[in-house]
Chains A and B, each alone.
Chain A
Amino acid sequence: MTTTSLTRSRGAGPAGDKVFSGATLAAGCLILAVLFGVALFLVIQAIPALVAPGAEIQGGAGFFAYIWPIVIGTLIAALIALVIATPISIGVALFISHFAPRRLASGLGYVIDLLAAIPSVVYGAWGAAFLAKEISPAYNWLASNMGWLPIFQGPASATGKTILTAGIVLAVMVLPIITSLTREIFLQTPKLHEEAALALGATRWEMIKMTVLPFGRPGIISAVMLGLGRALGETMAVALVLSSGALTASLIQSGNQTIAAEIALNFPEASGLKVSTLIAAGLVLFLITLAVNIVARWIISRHKEFSGAN
C-alpha cells in the first residue's frame, strides 16, 4: 500500500499558494492603508479650520459659510456634465456595439479611447480659448429668450467663461469614460437573450430596450458614477475655463466655483489657517465622492435579483 499519491505535491505547491495569497492580501491591505492614510491626513490638517473662530476664516463668516457655495458649484458643474454626457455616451456606445458595421465600430472605439488620453489642461485651454468665445452668442440668445428661467437669467457673460461652459468641457471629458465602459457592458449582453427578443418579433431597438439596457443597467450606473467622480474632482479644466465668483443661480453669468478649482487656484499662496481651510474643503470633496459611490452601490444592489447575474 502506498500513500505517495495523496501526500506528494509537485514543485512549489502549497508554498507557492501561500506566497500568492500573501501577495494579494498585502495588495488589498495596502489600498486600505493608503485610503485610511489620506483620510487621516485630511482630517488632522482640516481640524484647525473647523475649530477656528468664524471671523478668521476667509469670508469672515466661518467654515460652513465658506464651503457651501463651492459645494453647490461643484455639484452644478458635475450635474451639467452628466446630463449632457450620459445620453450621448450611451447612444455612442450602443451605436458602436449594436449598429455600426464592424470595421467602423472598432475605429470609432479607438478614437473614443484616445479622447480619454488627452490631458485635462488641454481641454481647459480649448474651453477657455475657443469654446467660451464661440458659445457666448448662444448665451445671449438664452438670456433674451429663456431669461425667465432663473438658470438662464441675463445679462449673459461677455467672455462666455461661465459654469455652463465649464460643465460642457467636463461633459466632453467624461464622455469617453462613460462611452468605453458602457460599450464593454453592452457587448457582454448574452447573444441568447438578444436572440430571444428578436425571435419574439422585436425590432433592433426593441431588442435593445428588452435585453441590452436592462442587462447593462448596473454597468451603466457604475460608468456614470465613475464619470461623476471625474467631473467632481476635475481641477485644471475648470480652473482655466471658469471665471469664478460668488454663488449665482444663473448658469450663463460668470460666478460660482468648484472645490477642486478653488483649492488649485489658492493653494500656492496659502499659509497657516488658509491651508487648513483648503484641506478641509478637500475633505468635503472626499466625503461627497464617498457618498456618491455608496449611493451608486445601493442602487445597483437594490435590483440584484433581476440583474442577470444569476
Chain B
Amino acid sequence: MSKRIDVKDLNVYYSKFLAVEDVSINIEAKSVTAFIGPSGCGKSTFLRTLNRMHEVIPGARVEGEVLLDGDNLYGAGVDPVTVRSQIGMVFQRPNPFPTMSIRDNVLAGVKLNNQKMSKGEADALVERSLRGANLWNEVKDRLQKPGSGLSGGQQQRLCIARAIAVEPQVILMDEPCSALDPISTLAIEDLINDLKDQYTVVIVTHNMQQAARVSDRTAFFNIAGTGKPGKLIEVGDTHTIFSNPTQKATEDYVSGRFG
C-alpha cells in the first residue's frame, strides 16, 4: 500500500509571487526521498503541494500536475480532503491534539472516516500504530493521559503514529527533527528506516547528515536570490548527490562551501 508520485512542471504561487518554479521529479514508492537546500528555497512549500496542504495559506495555488500512481491530485473533481487522507503529513513542530488523550490522538484520523469500529479493533489499531512508531513501550500504561504530556520526541512519534493509523500511501515529513534533541532525532531516523518498508516517505531536512543517513534519493533545491523563485537543481541517488553531483551548486552546498 504505497504509491509513487510523479510531478510534472509544477509552479507554485503565493498570489502573484512565483515561489517555486518548474519542478519535475519522480518519487519512487517504498523509498525515502529527502529534499535539501538553503532556507527559503521552497522545499517546504513544494512538499505541501504534494498533499494540497498549501491551500490552507490564502492565495497559494499551483500550476502543473502531481500524479499519485497516475491520478492527478489537481484534476477536476478531486477533493483535497481525500488527497490528504491518502498522503499523510508530519510537521516541523510536534502537534498532537492537546485536548485529546494519547489513544484518541492515534484514532483521530480514523474516526474521521466514519468507520464504525469496535473497542477491540480500535485497541488493536492503537497498539499497531504506536508499535509502528516505536512508541508503544513508552506509553502503553498511560494511553488515557494527554498527548501534550509527552516529551518532544515522543510527541513527534505520536504524530507519526497518528499519521500511519489512517494507512496512507505516502507520508510527508516537514523537518520532523528540527525541534528535537539528538537522541530523539535518532529514534525518528530509525523509524523512517522502518517506515519505508511499507510507505513512500518524503522528508524535508536542513540537516545534510540526516539526508545522507535516511534517504535513498536526494533532491537539492536552491534559490538564486531573495524574491526569486526556488528551483529544483538536481535529484539522484543520495550517494551520488553527496559524492559526485553533476551541478556545481549542489557540490558547494553538500560540501558546506555554500553561503
Contact of B84 among A198, A210, A214, A305 (CB under 8 A): A198
Q: Is the CB of A214 within 8 A of B99?
A: yes
Q: Is the CB of B88 within 8 A of A310?
A: no
Within 8 A of B (CB), among A201-260: 201-203, 206, 210-211, 214-215, 217
User: Chain B contacts of A79 at CB under 8 A?
Assistant: none
Q: Is the CB of B82 within 8 A of A305?
A: no
A17 CA to B81 CA, complexed, in Å: 54
Q: Is the CB of A206 within 8 A of B112?
A: yes
Considering the complex, give the chain A residue whose CB is closest to the CB of B114. Answer: A206
A310/B148 contact (C-beta < 8 A), A198-B84, A200-B162 known: yes
Q: Is the CB of A306 within 8 A of B84?
A: no
Q: Is A308 an interface residue (CB 8 A)?
A: yes
Q: Is B219 an interface residue (CB 8 A)?
A: no
Within 8 A of A (CB), among B58-91: 58, 81-82, 84-86, 88-89, 91
Contact residues of A: prevailing secondary structure: helix
Q: Is the CB of A192 within 8 A of B93?
A: yes
Contact of A199 among B58, B88, B93, B145 (CB under 8 A): B88
Q: Tell me how far the C-beta of B65 lies from the nearest C-beta in chain A, rounded to whole angstroms.
A: 21
A199 CA to B81 CA, complexed, in Å: 8
A307/B99 contact (C-beta < 8 A), A198-B53, A200-B108, A200-B166 known: yes
Q: Is the CB of A201 within 8 A of B108?
A: no
Q: Tell me how far the C-beta of B171 lies from the nearest C-beta in chain A, rounded to whole angstroms.
A: 10
Considering the complex, give the chain B residue whose CB is closest to the CB of A304. Answer: B146
User: Chain B contacts of A197 at CB under 8 A?
Assistant: 97, 108
Q: Is B98 an interface residue (CB 8 A)?
A: yes
User: Chain B contacts of A202 at CB under 8 A?
Assistant: 81, 84, 109, 112
User: Chain A contacts of B226 at CB under 8 A?
Assistant: none
Q: Tell me how far the C-beta of B80 lies from the nearest C-beta in chain A, rounded to whole angstroms.
A: 8
Within 8 A of B (CB), among A172-214: 190, 192-203, 206, 210-211, 214
Q: Tell me how far the C-beta of B84 lies from the nearest C-beta in chain A, rounded to whole angstroms.
A: 4
Q: Is the CB of B95 within 8 A of A195?
A: yes
Considering the complex, give the chain B residue whose CB is closest to the CB of A200. Answer: B109
Within 8 A of B (CB), among A58-97: none
Q: Is A133 an interface residue (CB 8 A)?
A: no
Q: Is the CB of B99 within 8 A of A306?
A: yes
Q: Is the CB of B58 within 8 A of A102?
A: yes
Q: Is B163 an interface residue (CB 8 A)?
A: yes
Q: Is the CB of B95 within 8 A of A196?
A: yes
Interface range, B side? 20 to 34
Q: Is the CB of A199 within 8 A of B148?
A: no
A201/B99 contact (C-beta < 8 A), A308-B148, A310-B146 known: no
Q: Is the CB of B56 within 8 A of A198?
A: yes
User: Chain B contacts of A206 at CB under 8 A?
Assistant: 112
Q: Tell me how far the C-beta of A302 lies from the nearest C-beta in chain B, rounded to whole angstroms.
A: 13
Q: Tell me how far the C-beta of B86 lies from the nearest C-beta in chain A, rounded to whole angstroms.
A: 8
Q: Is the CB of A196 within 8 A of B97?
A: yes
Q: Is the CB of A306 within 8 A of B100?
A: yes
Mask for B90-133, Cβ within 8 A of A = 1, else 0? Answer: 01010111111100000011001100000000000000000000
Q: Is the CB of A199 within 8 A of B99?
A: no
User: Chain B contacts of A203 at CB under 8 A?
Assistant: 81
A287 CA to B100 CA, complexed, in Å: 35
A195/B91 contact (C-beta < 8 A), A201-B84, A306-B99, A308-B98 known: yes
Mask for B157-193, Cβ within 8 A of A = 1, else 0? Answer: 0010011001000000000000000000000000000
Q: Is the CB of B82 within 8 A of A310?
A: no
Please provide the 3 A-B residue pairs with the shortest distance between their CB atoms, ordered closest to farther: A201-B85, A214-B99, A200-B109
Point out residues on B near A: beta carbons under 8 Å: 51, 53, 56, 58, 81-82, 84-86, 88-89, 91, 93, 95-101, 108-109, 112-113, 145-146, 148-149, 159, 162-163, 166
Point out residues on A near B: beta carbons under 8 Å: 102, 190, 192-203, 206, 210-211, 214-215, 217, 305-310
Contacts A196-B95, A201-B112, A206-B112 aside, 20 further interface pairs with beta carbons under 8 A come to A195-B91, A196-B91, A196-B96, A196-B97, A196-B159, A196-B162, A199-B84, A200-B84, A200-B85, A201-B85, A201-B109, A201-B113, A211-B97, A217-B99, A305-B146, A307-B99, A308-B99, A309-B98, A310-B98, A310-B146
